[in-house]
């Protein structure tokens, strides 16, 4: 029987892209140098674009359901990418907790991107050969973007780790802050059609290769980790993201400009 | 302990610099932009498609060549402008002196015979 992605799986993929994209977009106009400002804004837009694709696919599935009223619908009674992004509350979001954490400093921002993009790269590699044509097509498109995100963030993590005393300390602090959140990658609670065991081994090898060049100790998968994002149990940070992101749609429903 | 707080307004910095005044140092740890001007300047050349040559498109700041290429990718090819990037640190580019333009370039202006315009080109040849 051929694979059909569930609505939850698609929304999870979309939420991951949207929330990280929104976080990165917060750097727009605040980057440490003009060139890095543009780089991060480009990356943020890649994620928002990927989110749109996944939301559209999710909306198509929802609209073919009998009980689509369980999801936010527009005035025409249809689910769209916009209703899914703007009209759901925090407990409906299924993104990893790691992605909603505040940007922190440059070390937190770049290390978070490395941890996430390295996972995304492996995930999208597997999804890009999926038998579902739309899933494979979206994954293949996003994969090219994410490959660059890995390269860009990897370079920065190495620069910080191998840079000044302060940059190294900041990277070290970022590692301690973020590492407890990586366990969610490997839960696969939504049962995506992927080989988690091989992904985990490849991911850890990749990250430790970067850590070695950054003079960080080798990372070991944590025995305990923060969890809940894919089930809608979030940190307090997500609510603030949504408050900012959804304000216009909530205050002026169906506003157009 | 008495601490003097000096409020700097737009334009103060330039005036103080000219007057040789002591400008309070910016704390580099919480003011990240202060690192950017220390990065050297790079000139960026982008080739728009296979077979064409690299054209100068602008300059940017970067700590080293790898970062310069990534920055160039993000700054100068985000609207599909290119398929290949060259960067060179600006200090390695040596330029002719504009003051010498008369002796450098004027002598060529009356030597029209140097142009290959007196040949008949076959139709099939393009890009000449």
Give the domain CATH number at B88: 3.10.20.520
Is A1 within the bounds of a domain?
A: no
- Comparison of pLDDT for B127 and A196, the residue scoring more: A196
Is B21 within the bounds of a domain?
A: no
| CB-CB neighbours of A214 under 10 Å | 23
Is B105 within the bounds of a domain?
A: yes
Which residues from A are below 8 Å from B32, CB to CB? 32, 106
Nearest to A84 by CA among A97, A98, A73, A95: A73
User: Sheet harboring B55-61: ordered strands across?
Assistant: B55-61, B41-47, B84-89
**What's the whole-number mean pLDDT along residues A63-74?**
90
Question: To the nearest whole angstrom, how far is the Cα of B24 from the nearest Cα of chain A?
Answer: 20
Which residue has tokens 């609209």?
A63
CB-based contact, B115 to chain A, within 8 Å? no
The total number of structural domains in chain A stands at 1
Is A256 within the bounds of a domain?
A: no
The total number of structural domains in chain B stands at 1
- The fraction of chain A above a pLDDT of 90, given in percent, is 90
Is A108 within the bounds of a domain?
A: yes
CB contact under 8 A, B35 and A39: no
Nearest to A13 by CA among A51, A62, A60, A67: A51
Query: What's the confidence (pLDDT) of residue B115?
Result: 79
Q: Which structural domain range is residue A237 located in?
A: 7-251
pLDDT digit string, tens, across residues A88-123: 999 999 999 999 999 999 999 999 999 999 999 999
Is B29 within the bounds of a domain?
A: no
Question: To the nearest whole angstrom, how far is the Cα of A226 from the nearest Cα of chain B?
Answer: 29
Is A168 within the bounds of a domain?
A: yes
CB contact under 8 A, A33 and B36: yes
Q: Which structural domain range is residue B116 located in?
A: 37-128
CATH number at residue A108: 1.20.1260.10
CB A214 within 8 A of CB A75: no
ipTM field: 0.77
Task: Give A27's pLDDT tier (boundaries 50, 70, 90).
Answer: very high
CB-based contact, B36 to chain A, within 8 Å? yes
Is B20 within the bounds of a domain?
A: no
pLDDT at A143 > cutoff 70: yes
pLDDT digit string, tens, across residues B22-42: 555 444 444 444 444 589 999
CB contact under 8 A, B67 and A155: yes
Is B10 within the bounds of a domain?
A: no
Is B72 within the bounds of a domain?
A: yes
CB A184 within 8 A of CB A226: yes
pLDDT digit string, tens, across residues A151-191: 999 999 999 999 999 999 999 999 999 999 999 999 999 99
CB contact under 8 A, B71 and A106: no
CB-based contact, B33 to chain A, within 8 Å? yes
pLDDT digit string, tens, across residues B63-104: 999 999 999 999 999 888 899 999 999 999 998 888 888 888
Is A188 within the bounds of a domain?
A: yes
CB-based contact, B30 to chain A, within 8 Å? no
């Amino acid at each position: 029987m051929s694979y059909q992605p569930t609505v939850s799986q698609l929304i999870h993929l979309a939420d991951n892209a949207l929330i990280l994209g929104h976080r990165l977009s917060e750097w727009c106009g605040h980057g440490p140098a003009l060139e890095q400002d543009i780089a991060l804004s480009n990356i943020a837009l890649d994620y928002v674009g990927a989110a749109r694709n996944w939301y559209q696919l999710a909306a198509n599935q929802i609209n073919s359901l009998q009980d689509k009223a369980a999801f936010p619908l527009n005035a025409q009674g249809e689910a769209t990418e916009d209703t899914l992004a703007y009209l759901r509350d925090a407990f409906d979001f299924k993104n990893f907790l790691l992605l909603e954490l505040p940007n922190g400093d440059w070390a937190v921002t770049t290390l978070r991107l490395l941890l996430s993009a390295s996972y995304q790269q492996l995930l999208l590699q597997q999804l890009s050969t999926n038998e579902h044509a739309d899933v494979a097509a979206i994954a293949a498109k996003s994969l090219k973007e994410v490959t660059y995100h890995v390269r860009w963030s990897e370079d920065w993590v190495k620069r910080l780790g191998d840079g000044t005393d302060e940059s190294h300390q900041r990277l070290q602090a970022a590692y301690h802050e973020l590492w407890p959140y990586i366990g969610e990658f490997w839960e696969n609670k939504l049962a995506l059609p992927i080989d988690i065991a091989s992904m985990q081994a490849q991911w850890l090898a990749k990250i430790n290769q970067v850590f070695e060049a950054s003079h960080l100790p080798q990372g070991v998968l944590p025995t305990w980790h923060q969890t809940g994002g894919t089930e809608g149990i979030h940190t307090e940070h997500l609510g603030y993201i949504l408050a900012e992101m959804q304000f216009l749609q909530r205050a002026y429903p169906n506003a157009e400009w | 302990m008495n601490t003097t707080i000096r409020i700097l307004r737009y334009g103060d910095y330039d005036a103080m610099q000219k007057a040789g005044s002591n400008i309070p140092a910016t704390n580099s740890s919480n003011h990240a932009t202060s690192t950017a001007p220390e990065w050297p300047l790079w000139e960026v050349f982008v080739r728009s498609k296979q077979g064409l040559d690299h054209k100068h498109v602008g300059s940017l700041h970067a700590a080293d060549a790898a970062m310069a290429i990534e920055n160039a990718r993000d700054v100068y090819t985000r609207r599909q402008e290119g398929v290949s990037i060259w960067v060179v640190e600006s200090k390695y580019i040596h330029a002719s002196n504009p003051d010498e333009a008369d002796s450098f370039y004027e002598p060529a202006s009356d030597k029209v015979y140097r142009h290959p315009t007196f040949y008949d080109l076959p139709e099939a040849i393009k890009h000449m």
